[in-house]
């Protein structure tokens, strides 16, 4: 690890003062030190430490051999902040001054997320911008915006090369990891070219079209020889409809063409290892050259909060990241790896902040693991989101209040209600399933707002919460990471990273 970044990581322990999470318990007035809180001198020391760390920071000017791009799907600024607080509170530390691995990355930029045709974009268009350097229409994957969504006849000649395809052609090893289906929008953008993100299996294609489904494109990908590791969910898109899933007796495949793409992958990679459970994952030899295909669920992998209860077991995102780096680092030409925390987005769509933040903390743990393993003199590490969500942190909760607690509680524990006479939680959504239709909202002081399944209240009733259109953050470390600064277009990330890789 580079010395400036190591200094930032070490200083984080100093910056996180020992203010324990106090949840919603009333607080008695007492001197700062008696309450374990920071003093003016502490804040001065903190500011000086951050100043000195930045003065010591030196930009690298060489080319990068490797690229790891971490994508927190739907991880907007409010998610980063709430995730930071939850990570600290979960560990018994002061959440507000806690520092995450993401925080410690030295260079930052704001990223515009609109798509070719929408102010508020979806993951297909935003991922396409990240990996191809061009914006496209929402719902399309790695094709030019001249094509039309869902119109196979407009696809010919519209494919846009991805940084993964270009890196593979240059001899670099490739890896893809997602806690979502590996055929889902973000990971699929690396290898698939499709005018509809929903064409994950042949059964989802319109009848009579010549376009190939996304799962088939993965197995038949021209860069398949360089694709050393694929880990995620989504078995059903690879198996026929009459084939029973190995983990769930009541589930079958989704393909109507009779093809078993997992068997085809094994035939194409006779030395390859196909895995679908935790025991098999644990047995993988990271030193082997054999490619790995891991599909751990019929659909998406489990939320981090539910992973321990999975029937066959699933590796953590940090464990998958560690294995990927160990395997890909064997490549003399270097590697390009995508790691997606895909289920942050899904929990937000469900209006369930607890699971979203648990997955954010797990995503940060994967980044921390990567920073332990890589040499930042040769590896460019990027962390960003594809888009945001309409997720808010509101009210005036006292410091130390549980991030899942009530916003309207004063220092002395007195409730401060909204105009309807009820309190509200710190976390909420502008729209989503937590809203009420034609009836008064619930009183959250009478509910367990800390519960894993609790749905935060929302303003506008919708079946699923929606994306947000504001800029997202990009954090960077490694060779020429200083080029990521200011406010940039999302598709510019590709052009800057490609330049740093020397492709």
Please give the pLDDT value at position 36: 56
Taking 80 as the threshold, does the pLDDT of residue 477 lie above it? yes
Give the CB-side neighbour count of residue 143, counting CA atoms within 13 A: 26
Please give the pLDDT value at position 218: 98
Residue 22 binned pLDDT confidence (cut-offs 50, 70, 90) = very low
Say whether 299 sits in a helix, a strand or coil. coil
Average pLDDT, the chain: 93
Strands of the sheet containing 66-72, edge to edge, are 273-275, 292-295, 227-233, 173-181, 335-341, 66-72, 379-384, 472-477, 107-112, 487-489
Taking 50 as the threshold, does the pLDDT of residue 9 lie above it? no
Taking 90 as the threshold, does the pLDDT of residue 201 lie above it? yes
Judge whether 87 and 399 are in contact, CB under 8 Å.
Answer: no
Instruction: Provide φ and ψ at 473, rounded to 5°.
Output: -95, 140
Taking 90 as the threshold, does the pLDDT of residue 28 lie above it? no
Selected catalytic residue, list 123, 142, 194, 492? 123
Q: For residue range 209-233, what is the model confidence (pLDDT) as tens digits?
A: 999 999 999 999 999 999 999 999 9
Mean pLDDT of 322-328: 98
| Alpha carbons 448 and 305: distance in angstroms, whole number | 17
Residue 45 binned pLDDT confidence (cut-offs 50, 70, 90) = very high
Q: For residue range 235-278, what is the model confidence (pLDDT) as tens digits?
A: 999 999 999 999 999 999 999 999 999 999 999 999 999 999 99
Please give the pLDDT value at position 7: 42
Please give the pLDDT value at position 12: 41
Report residue 386 as tokens: 């594809």
Please give the pLDDT value at position 202: 98
Mean pLDDT of 471-478: 98
Mean pLDDT of 474-481: 98
Please give the pLDDT value at position 221: 97
The structure's pTM equals: 0.93
Judge whether 209 and 152 are in contact, CB under 8 Å.
Answer: yes
Q: What are the residue boundaries of the structural domains of the chain, listed by start? A: 66-390+473-501, 392-465
Strand-strand pairing, 227-233 and 173-181: parallel
Taking 70 as the threshold, does the pLDDT of residue 20 lie above it? no
Identify whether 463 is a catalytic site residue. no
| Helix, strand, coil percentages for the chain (3-state, nearest 5) | 35, 15, 50
The helix-helix angle for 40-56 and 3-15 (nearest 10°) equals 170
Give the length of the chain: 503
Q: For residue range 80-125, what is the model confidence (pLDDT) as tens digits?
A: 999 999 999 999 999 999 999 999 999 999 999 999 999 999 999 9
66-390+473-501 sits in which CATH class? alpha beta
Closest CA to 429 of 386, 464, 398, 400: 464
Q: For residue range 123-176, what is the model confidence (pLDDT) as tens digits?
A: 999 999 999 999 999 999 999 999 999 999 999 999 999 999 999 999 999 999
Q: For residue range 382-414, what is the model confidence (pLDDT) as tens digits?
A: 999 999 999 999 999 999 999 999 998 887 878
Gyration radius of the chain's alpha carbons:
23
Quote the percentage of the chain above a pLDDT of 90.
90
| Alpha carbons 454 and 155: distance in angstroms, whole number | 43
Q: For residue range 419-434, what is the model confidence (pLDDT) as tens digits?
A: 999 999 999 999 999 9
Please give the pLDDT value at position 300: 98
Q: For residue range 452-469, what is the model confidence (pLDDT) as tens digits?
A: 999 999 999 999 999 999
Say whether 164 sits in a helix, a strand or coil. helix
Judge whether 371 and 381 are in contact, CB under 8 Å.
Answer: yes
| Alpha carbons 5 and 481: distance in angstroms, whole number | 12
Closest CA to 291 of 213, 378, 223: 223
Quote the percentage of the chain above a pLDDT of 70.
93
Residue 324 binned pLDDT confidence (cut-offs 50, 70, 90) = very high
Taking 90 as the threshold, does the pLDDT of residue 3 lie above it? no
Mean pLDDT of 58-70: 95
């Amino acid at each position: 690890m580079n010395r400036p970044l190591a200094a930032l990581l070490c200083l984080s322990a100093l910056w996180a003062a020992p203010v324990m999470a106090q949840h919603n318990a009333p607080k008695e007035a007492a001197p700062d030190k008696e309450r374990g809180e920071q003093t003016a001198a502490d804040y001065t020391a903190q500011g000086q430490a951050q100043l000195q760390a930045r003065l010591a920071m030196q930009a690298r000017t060489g080319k990068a051999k490797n690229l790891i791009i971490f994508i927190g799907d739907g991880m907007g600024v409010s998610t980063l902040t709430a995730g930071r607080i939850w990570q600290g509170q979960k560990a018994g530390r002061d959440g507000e001054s806690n520092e995450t691995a993401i925080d410690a990355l030295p260079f930052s930029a704001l990223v515009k997320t609109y798509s070719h045709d929408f102010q508020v974009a979806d993951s297909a268009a935003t991922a396409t911008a990240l990996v191809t350097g061009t914006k496209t229409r929402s719902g399309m994957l790695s094709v030019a915006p001249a094509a039309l969504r869902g119109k196979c006849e407009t696809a010919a000649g519209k494919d846009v090369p991805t940084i993964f395809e270009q890196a593979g052609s240059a001899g670099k090893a490739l890896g893809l990891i997602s806690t979502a289906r590996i055929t889902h929008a973000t990971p699929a953008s690396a290898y698939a070219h499709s005018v509809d993100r929903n064409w994950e299996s042949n059964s989802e294609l319109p009848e009579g079209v010549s376009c190939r489904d996304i799962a088939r494109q993965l197995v038949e990908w021209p860069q398949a020889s360089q694709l050393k590791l694929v880990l995620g969910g989504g078995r059903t898109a690879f198996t026929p409809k009459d084939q029973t899933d190995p983990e769930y007796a009541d589930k079958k495949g989704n393909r109507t063409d009779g093809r078993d793409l997992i068997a085809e992958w094994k035939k194409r990679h006779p030395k390859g290892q196909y895995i679908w459970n935790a025991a098999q994952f644990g047995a993988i030899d990271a030193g082997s050259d054999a490619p790995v295909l891991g599909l751990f669920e019929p659909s998406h992998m489990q939320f981090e909060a539910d992973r321990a209860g999975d029937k066959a077991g699933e590796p953590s995102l940090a464990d998958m990241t560690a294995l990927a780096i160990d395997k890909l680092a064997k490549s003399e030409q270097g590697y390009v790896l995508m790691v997606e925390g895909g289920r942050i987005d899904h929990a937000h769509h469900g209006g369930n902040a607890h699971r979203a933040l648990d997955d954010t903390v797990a995503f940060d743990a994967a980044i921390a693991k990567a920073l332990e393993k890589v040499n930042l003199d040769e590896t460019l590490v990027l962390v960003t989101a594809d888009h945001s969500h309409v997720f808010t942190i509101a009210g005036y909760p006292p410091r130390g209040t549980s991030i899942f607690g009530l916003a309207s509680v004063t220092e002395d524990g007195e409730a401060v209600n909204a105009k309807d006479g009820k309190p509200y939680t710190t976390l909420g959504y502008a729209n989503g399933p937590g809203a009420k239709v034609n009836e008064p909202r619930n009183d959250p002081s009478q509910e367990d707002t800390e519960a894993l399944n609790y749905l935060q209240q929302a303003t506008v009733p919708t079946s699923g919460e929606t994306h947000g259109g504001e800029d997202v953050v990009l954090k960077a470390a490694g060779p020429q990471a200083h080029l990521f600064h200011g406010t940039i277009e999302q598709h510019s990330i590709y052009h800057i990273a490609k330049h740093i890789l020397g492709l």
